[in-house]
Structure 1
Amino acid sequence: MSETTTLSATIVRADYNDPKHAADIVSMLRSYAMDPMGGGEDLSGQVQRDLVPGLQAMPAASSILAYIGDEVVGLANLMTTFSSFAAKPLLNIHDIAVSKDHRGHGIGRKLFDEIHKIADEIGACKVTLEVLEGNAPARALYASLGYGDYVLDPEMGKAMFWQKRL
């Protein structure tokens, strides 16, 4: 397990077999889900039960947690995939969340420091994420870290994220 200690928070690469890490992943994702930026609804009992075993079953999944003391205050769920255009790994931030009481104190930036370290370790060509248009604080953080719209040809516009629920 790799750890990075900072003045206010410790960033830890989660161990899905560690009961505290598993509980903290579920707790943080529930908090994020209930936030308006996460959809405003709690996770179902089934999702709460199946979340960590599901992540653990996915070889491409990893998670990092932020702690202040023993209190979990941040989470990032990551998925490693592959860029066919670069023929290199690509790291996607599937979820990133900081607890409401700890936002604006640099914890998100510390999570990104670890994300970028992981991306370097795997030789990733880029890190991707999704963000809601109305999430101005997150967008400001991401822009300050060099993230921006995905554009191949400005005449064709920026890429859009679509979904089909099954």
Structure 2
Amino acid sequence: MSGMIIRPATVSDVPAMHQFIRDLAEYEREPEAVVATAEDLARSLFGAQPALFAHVAEVDGQVVGMAVWFLTYSTWEGRHGIWLEDLYVDPDVRGQGIGGTLLRTLAAIAVERGYRRVEWSVLDWNEPAIRAYEAVGAVPMDGWHTRRLTGEALRRAATSARA
């Protein structure tokens, strides 16, 4: 897309990014799940020791997409990787290659820094995203399933660790 810029996020991008996170949650049918505030996001991205990173896509001076990511580590590879937490493109500009460009930007960062992987989750019903990911060469991790501890189960597990 002509006129598109991919760049590291800045503090001034946080309001748009926070709205994208809310929009993504709506799209993924969990709008009530977003409890993070714009201040939480700013602190995580730009605090004293940030462990969260982001790039945004800008067209004609307007932020239209984002990739929010953090580092992982593979003991098998002996190297870091990137976990793509959120990839979002404004629906008004989807289909113009912005998401793929954001994803390829993360791939370039990984290669440049010697990281071995870029990984993420995608909902099984999100066919447009799956097609876009396949277009850049991503493959599913057959046999692997994401697990999560949260809420009361997380508290019980933490309590039993101290016992």
Cα deviation code 1:117-138 (max 9, x no counterpart): 1111221111101000000010
Q: Does 1:13 align with 2:8?
A: yes
Tell me, in whole angstroms, the C-alpha distance in 1 between the residues paired with 2:34 and 2:68. Answer: 16
Structure 1 gap segments, 5+ residues each: 1-5, 152-157
Equivalenced residue count is 150
Identify which of 12, 17, 28 aligns with 1:25: 17
Q: Is the 8 A contact 1:94 1:129 kept in 2?
A: yes
Q: Which has the larger radius of gyration?
A: 2
1:163 aligned residue: 148
* TM-score (norm: length of structure 1): 0.81
Q: CA RMSD in A?
A: 1.9
Structure 2 gap segments, 5+ residues each: 152-163
Deviation at 1:49, TM superposition (A): 2.7
Identify which of 46, 51, 59 aligns with 1:56: 46
Deviation at 1:59, TM superposition (A): 3.4
What secondary structure does 2:31 align onto?
A: coil
Tell me, in whole angstroms, the C-alpha distance in 1 between the residues paired with 2:63 and 2:29. Answer: 18
1:73 aligned residue: 64
Structure with the bigger percentage of helix: 2
The one-letter code of the counterpart of 2:45 is L
Deviation at 1:56, TM superposition (A): 3.0
Tell me, in whole angstroms, the C-alpha distance in 1 between the residues paired with 2:132 and 2:17. Answer: 22
* TM-score (norm: length of structure 2): 0.82
1:123 aligned residue: 114
Identity of aligned residues (%): 25
Q: Does 1:47 align with 2:42?
A: no
Q: Is the 8 A contact 2:18 2:38 kept in 1?
A: yes
Q: Does 1:34 align with 2:26?
A: yes
